[in-house]
Every structure is written in structure tokens, then in C-alpha cells.
Structure 1
Amino acid sequence: MAALQRGLREGPVLVVGGGPVGMVAAASLARLGVPVVLIEAEDEPKTDWRASTFHAATLELLDELGVAEQMHAEGLRVPIYHFRDRVEGLVAEFDFSLLADETPYPYRLQLNQQHLVRMLHRRLRTTPGVELRFGCRVTGVRQRPGGGVTVALHTPDGPRELTGSHAIGADGAGSTVRNALGVEFTGFTYPERFLIASTSVDLSEALPGIAEVNYVADPREWLFLLRTPESWRAVWPVPAGQSEEEALAEETLQRQFQGVAPWPGGYPIIDRQLYRVHQRVAETFRVGDVTLIGDAAHINSPMGGVGLNSGIHDAVDLARRLARIAEGADADAELDTFADRRRRIAVEYVQADTQRNTDRLRETDEARRRASHAEMRAIAADPGRARAYMRRASLLESVRRFGIGLPPGRTPEHATSASSH
């Protein structure tokens, strides 16, 4: 109740962005008794199909929010994934069940991200202390001299301003919040674009023996094939010189899918998206009472399915700190710890691993390709190395190392030591 009272006196936390990361931030704050206003430019919850993987460490956090059971009812559990070569076939198989002694979720849960948004949106509509403002576009953010923030909005009724104790930018790669703060978004953009296309054809029939998640290396055209409850999805690179119209054309998609596996009668295409891929990290995740999470703070290649997951970890970490601040904890210490730890994780884990995964798939040097394949086979064949590899891939390693929202100066090792005394 102390958190709720403080929030009411000094203003709610303003969460900018109603995608999955912003929704998790709002739900986490509400669960901890912190009033929140969620601001989203779209009129309705986002229906983007792009991310669809939830890892073990993330499912542990979402279970605390009470949505994991519904996610499992609608999602697809995938304990095994393949690293394959387009010519050689299977290179290495990885089984997340090796982690069954460490997590109740030893698998990837495949569920398109808009379903999590839908679940949390329905809950937040009736949650006390939560205000949802859809159809409102943020046009500016400024720090207040005495502390707190003011957010300028363009609403259906004209310009408006909201004040709050803190603001959270969860508004994606082109973040208005980040730009308003003048924070650099350093890194690079891949020369090729990535295309996601979904089909109702069961690719396991067209390609017998594949797993439900497959990373397929090829020096000319690598692939990422995975199954979701609605469809099979393929991701491949689009040459820099190919127009968007041509890349998304039915003829092009049919040619691409038939190149993956012949299917008489053609592939029904139920979704298609073309997008730029970046490896970028904000120079800082915090300026005063404003913080950045998710794609507003870090964006990366989708190879590994960790971008959304890391953003959810950002959201829960920050919510726990804001709840402590509402109860009297040192705000600078908490928010600096958030910014330092989450940026370090973004650089050392998310950026490093997704770049390595992408380079492994598209390697053109034959000697390096063969060495990479040999290394993957060796990892998969050694239970100890395979376990370590999957702990990192599932983000369990980073959570066990740094924790989520632990107080400044505390790590999981400190917490374990304290609880044993």
C-alpha cells in the first residue's frame, strides 16, 4: 500500500508503448501496487507477428504475472531444435530437457507475441491503478525541475500533457522517448533485409525429419524455419537490390518456399513481413527519471529468439526497482543499477550471441563453415557443453548471474549466501 500511496501523490509511472514489453512493464508495476498509465499510439493492441519464442527464464517471470498457464494452453512446447546445413542436412540437435533440473520450463514456448499482448491487455483493462490510453502518440518527454517527468501527447481530442513520477520508453526501435532524450543508438544495420513468411503447409511433411525450430546454414541463402500454433514460419535474407514489392510478391514467395521443399499446388501464404535488421544498443538506458527498455534500448538479429525475451527481463527488472523506490529506496542507486546491468546483458549476451548465430548461418568461407559445423557437433555431443550452451541460449545463465531486479550491490550469489545464514 505504501507504493500505491506514494504513486498517487507524486504521479503514476508512464509507460510509453503498448507492445509486449510495455504491457509486461505495466502488468508488473500494477502487480507491485504502483499506479501506471500505459500510452500507445495505435487505437488497438498491436498484432505484430514478428517474435514468437519465449524462453525458460522468461516463462518463469511471466508465471509470476499469472499468464504462463494461458500461454501454455495456446502455445507450442518445443524442447528440441536443430542446427542444419542446407546441403548436408542435420548438423547438431539440442534438447532443452537437459535443463529440467533447473527450470520448470525446459523448452522454448512458441506463441506469437500478439497473444501475450492480448492476454495482458484484457487483464489490465480491469486492474485497479492502471489507465490505458490507446490512440495517443507521444510527441515529447521532459524532466521536471523538482523530479518526475512530463509527457506531451497528440490525442484524438488534441494536444495533452501527462505528468508522472517516472517514464518508461518501451516504444520500439524508433523510440520517440529515446530520441527526446538525445540518447545515441550505436551499432549497425545489416545490408540485407529479412523476410518473414508464414504458411499453413506443415513443413515437417514437406521436409521429413526437421525439428519444430531449425536454423539452416547456407552461404548463399540461409534459412530459419519454425512452427507456431497457427503456421510454419520461414525467415530468409533479401538481397539489398531487390525491391520491397518484388520481395513480397506472391511469385517470389512461392519460388522461395518451393526452393525450401517442393509442394504440389503451391504454398498458401498467410502472413508476410519485410524488415531491416540492426545490432544497436542505446548509449545509456537511463536519463534522470526516464528509462528505456526492450527495442527502445537494444535491437538485434532475430537469430536465437532472445530480443523479446530480454526486453521482458528489462521490464520486470525495472518494475521491481520502481516499486522499491516508491517505498523509499534510493532512486539513483536503483536506476543506475538497472541501466548498468541491463545494458551489460544486452552487450555481453543478446548482441554477442545473436551476431554469432547470424554469422554462423551465413558464413561464406568454406573452411570456417566446416569448422563452425564441427564445433556445433562437438557441443551437442558433450552433455556438459550442451547444457552450458542451452543455459545461455535460454537466458538462464544471464538471469542466474545477474538476477532480475535485485537491489544495488546484490547478485544471485549474495542472495543465496544471505538466505543460508
Structure 2
Amino acid sequence: MERTGVVVVGGGPAGMVAGLVLARAGVEVTVLEKHGDFLRDFRGDTVHASTLTLLDELGLGPSFAEVPHQLVDRVQVLLDSGPQPVADLSRLPGRHKHIAMVPQWDFLDLLADAGKREPTFELRMNTEFTGLLREGGRVTGVRYRTADGGTGELAADLVIAADGRRSLVREQAGLPVRAFGVPMDVWWFRLPRHEGELTGATGRFGSSDGLVLINRGDYFQCAYLIRKGTDELLRSEGVVAFRRRMARLVPWLAERLETISSLDDVKLLDVKLDRLRRWHLDGLLCIGDAAHAMSPIGGVGINLAVQDAVAAAALVAGPLRRGELTTEVLAKVRRRRWLPTAVTQAVQRRVQDSFLKPTLAGTSGVARGRVPLPIRLMRRFPRLQVVPAYLVAIGLRPEHAPEFARRAPERIERA
């Protein structure tokens, strides 16, 4: 049987950051990614201010700067009277007063290239997790399958589950989950954007739906909010009905909607909001969406996942090197990350219950042309816009790279 120090299941942002930081501590780490590359249709393309600071601390700032990206420095709501500000990121403390929008595959490739420079880091693509190895009540490694049908087992001192909101590791571990209801799902699609049009991220809400437009340079990344469980019904109405709904919501997009040739161009995000009651077993730790699936409200899921990864790596690296990893050490990860996770989810639940649920039901004040109180306050007292900006772009407990993982800024050649 093969052996490594840590197996990270899932090559997303949380898994790659955890693997990189652990490798820089001298821990032998193997990241398993079931796909052959990162070129997939990601919607989570946000790199938040606190993650940009982390990249600087890891010495990756210059390399990231060369990756094509757009900067979001404001969040606004589009009312009939025009755009109204909600969050002003230019008021944030620190160097990065924005969120970077970058294709997630570029971000992951950057982390992979940095990891490959560490002698104890291994990334195995086309390698899918299939099961946990256990011995005497302890998780001792994983079973896997490769793209050519080969199977194998990999023993480890620690398995880190970073395989997302539908985590197979979490399912097999049988960890108890607390699930929260959500009123919506999201349709993702792209529409052309013209020079001089809306910048940042802009929300538009109608009588029973909502649309978020994110500036991606020459196109808008669009998130259309639909009532939970209505995907099949709405698709049955066809692409013409879809275009009609979009044009009613944002009339100046009407001509561009012809670029949506069929509803195959529209991807569903099945929204979940849940949290594990316990994030670990002996020999196993869950982080990111595997530990707490976040709503897309605020787009904070990736930021929380990356911060989980940094906290986890910093806490377990020393005990792993000394051969002293215990369940008490693993429990510290949840204790450190519970408050920002729970508070962020509480805010998301408040937004969905007080605003999104009545909006999608057609009973909100917005549907009758009323400007919500928070927006009126933001307009009257602009300094208040730093509060949502901080919660979204930085978070309640931003994590910083441990000293052993920090490097001087340098440009890393892309593979």
C-alpha cells in the first residue's frame, strides 16, 4: 500500500491551499482531483480581498497579477431610478480594496504550479476518491480509482475532505449535518457587455425574481434567482419565455438575450445551506463546503473555504511533523472557524428570509416599487457601506499565512 502524510480529497480552492501550506511546512501531502484538468464551468470565480492578502503572504501576488482578471470595488442594486450603492469596497482597510474576478481554473493552476515547487507536494489528477480506509475506529487513508479504471489504496496520517457541498467523504464519514432551508436556486449564464456599462456587481429585483450582473470585461456573468425547485418547470416553458422574463426585468438587455440559443446555455446551481455539527473523526477533517455549504448570497463561500484551509494547515502541521496528531487538535479547527461560519450563515439566512423569500413570492416592497430601508440608509450615510463590504470581501476572522508558509514575492512560471 502507498503511504503519504496527508491525503487531501478535492482539488478546489480549499484543497489546493491546504495542500500548498502543508507542503511548505514539510508535510508530505497528496491532493486527489477526479478530473483531468481544472477547465470546467465554475461559477465561483471570486478571489476576495483577504485571499488576495494571503496570496501576497505566500509570495504569489506577482504571479496572480499576471492572470487576466477584473476588479469589483462596489456592489449595487439597480432600481427604476438608477443604481443605488450597497457596499463600497474602496473604503476597506489594507492594500486590496476590491474582489478579483478570475476564472477559477486559472487560480487553481496558479496554486498547483506553486505546489509543484515543494518537494513534499503531489497533485494526482484523474484520481477519484471511492472510499475511506478504517482501522480500529480510526480513518487511516482512502481508496481511489483512476481514469483508466485502475484502483488503489493510499494510507495517510490525516485525510482532509475538501470535495465540496456534495462531499462523498463527508457522506461516508457519517458526520451529523444541520441543514437550513433555502428559498431559491440560481441559473447561471453569460450575456455580452458593452464598454461603459455597469461595473462591479449589480442586483436587479422584480415582482417574483431577481438577477445579478457581474462585470467580467466583455461579458456579464449573470445569476438569475428562481424559486427553489422550479428549475424543471421553468425549463419546460422554453427559451423564448426565459428571454421574455429577462427582458421584463432588465429591458436594455433584450437584444443580447438572443445569444442564449437554448436553455442548455443556462446552468443550474442547486443552492444548499448547511453545516456539520462536528467537522472531524479520528484521522479525518472536513473543510470548506464539505464542512459548511454556503448560500451564494455575498459570494463568500470560496473565501470561507480558503480561510478554513489556512487555519487547518496551520493547526495540524506541527502535530503531524511530530507524530502527535489527535482528535483534540482536529477539534481546534472547528472551534476556530465556527464563529465566522455560523455568523455568515446567519446573515445569509436573514437576507433570504427577510428579502429574497418575499421577493421571489412577489410580496416584497421591492415588487411594489419601494426602496428597502437598508438601501435608503446606505444612500443617506455612505460610510455604512463599509460594513457589508468588510463582511463580504474580508470576513469576520480572516486567516493569514503562518510564518513557515510565507515567501518573498516572486513570479512563478506557469506550467
- Which TM-score tier does this pair reach, normalised by the shorter chain? 0.7 to 0.9
Match of 1:14 in 2: 7
CA distance in 1, matches of 2:236, 2:213: 18
Match of 1:50 in 2: 43
Structure showing greater relative contact order (alpha-carbon pairs closer than 8 Å, 6 or more residues apart): 2
CA distance in 1, matches of 2:253, 2:71: 27
Match of 2:341 in 1: 346
Match of 1:96 in 2: 89
**1:232 aligned onto 2:220:** yes
Match of 2:375 in 1: 376
Aligned length: 388
Mark the CA change 1:42 to 1:367 in structure 2 (over 3 Å): closer, same or farther.
Answer: closer
3-state DSSP of counterpart to 1:220: coil
Contact preservation (8 Å) 1:218, 1:361: no
Contact preservation (8 Å) 1:80, 1:96: yes
Match of 2:384 in 1: 385
Match of 1:410 in 2: none
Contact preservation (8 Å) 1:189, 1:277: no
Deviation at 1:170, TM superposition (A): 0.6
C-alpha offsets along residues 66-106 of structure 1, whole Å, 9 cap, x if unaligned? 33333333211221221334x4543334321112xx21101
Question: What amino acid maps onto 2:200 in structure 1?
Answer: E
- Pairwise CA RMSD: 3.1
CA distance in 2, matches of 1:323, 1:347: 25
Alignment of 1:32-51 (within 5 A): 32-51=25-44
Contact preservation (8 Å) 2:6, 2:28: yes
Match of 2:167 in 1: 175
C-alpha offsets along residues 274-323 of structure 1, whole Å, 9 cap, x if unaligned? 12101111121111121111111111221201001100111111111121
**1:286 aligned onto 2:274:** no
3-state DSSP of counterpart to 2:35: coil
Match of 1:194 in 2: 186
CA distance in 1, matches of 2:63, 2:239: 35
Alignment of 1:79-94 (within 5 A): 79-85=73-79, 87-94=80-87
Moved more, 237-246 or 295-304: 237-246
**1:76 aligned onto 2:92:** no
3-state DSSP of counterpart to 1:11: strand
Moved more, 16-25 or 166-175: 16-25
3-state DSSP of counterpart to 2:396: helix
Match of 1:322 in 2: 316
> 1:277 is matched with which residue: 271, 282, 307?
271
Question: What amino acid maps onto 1:173 in structure 2?
Answer: R
Deviation at 1:168, TM superposition (A): 0.5
CA distance in 1, matches of 2:255, 2:364: 34
Contact preservation (8 Å) 1:13, 1:166: yes
Match of 2:143 in 1: 152
Match of 1:255 in 2: 244
**1:64 aligned onto 2:57:** yes
Contact preservation (8 Å) 1:200, 1:267: no
Match of 1:217 in 2: 205
Gaps of 5+ in 2: 403-415
3-state DSSP of counterpart to 1:274: strand
Question: What amino acid maps onto 2:140 in structure 1?
Answer: V
Deviation at 1:154, TM superposition (A): 2.1
TM-score calculated relative to the size of structure 1: 0.81
Deviation at 1:121, TM superposition (A): 2.5
Mark the CA change 1:341 to 1:183 in structure 2 (over 3 Å): closer, same or farther.
Answer: same
Mark the CA change 1:386 to 1:113 in structure 2 (over 3 Å): closer, same or farther.
Answer: same
Question: What amino acid maps onto 2:38 in structure 1?
Answer: P
TM-score calculated relative to the size of structure 2: 0.82
Contact preservation (8 Å) 1:189, 1:276: no
Contact preservation (8 Å) 1:98, 1:387: yes
Moved more, 317-326 or 60-69: 60-69
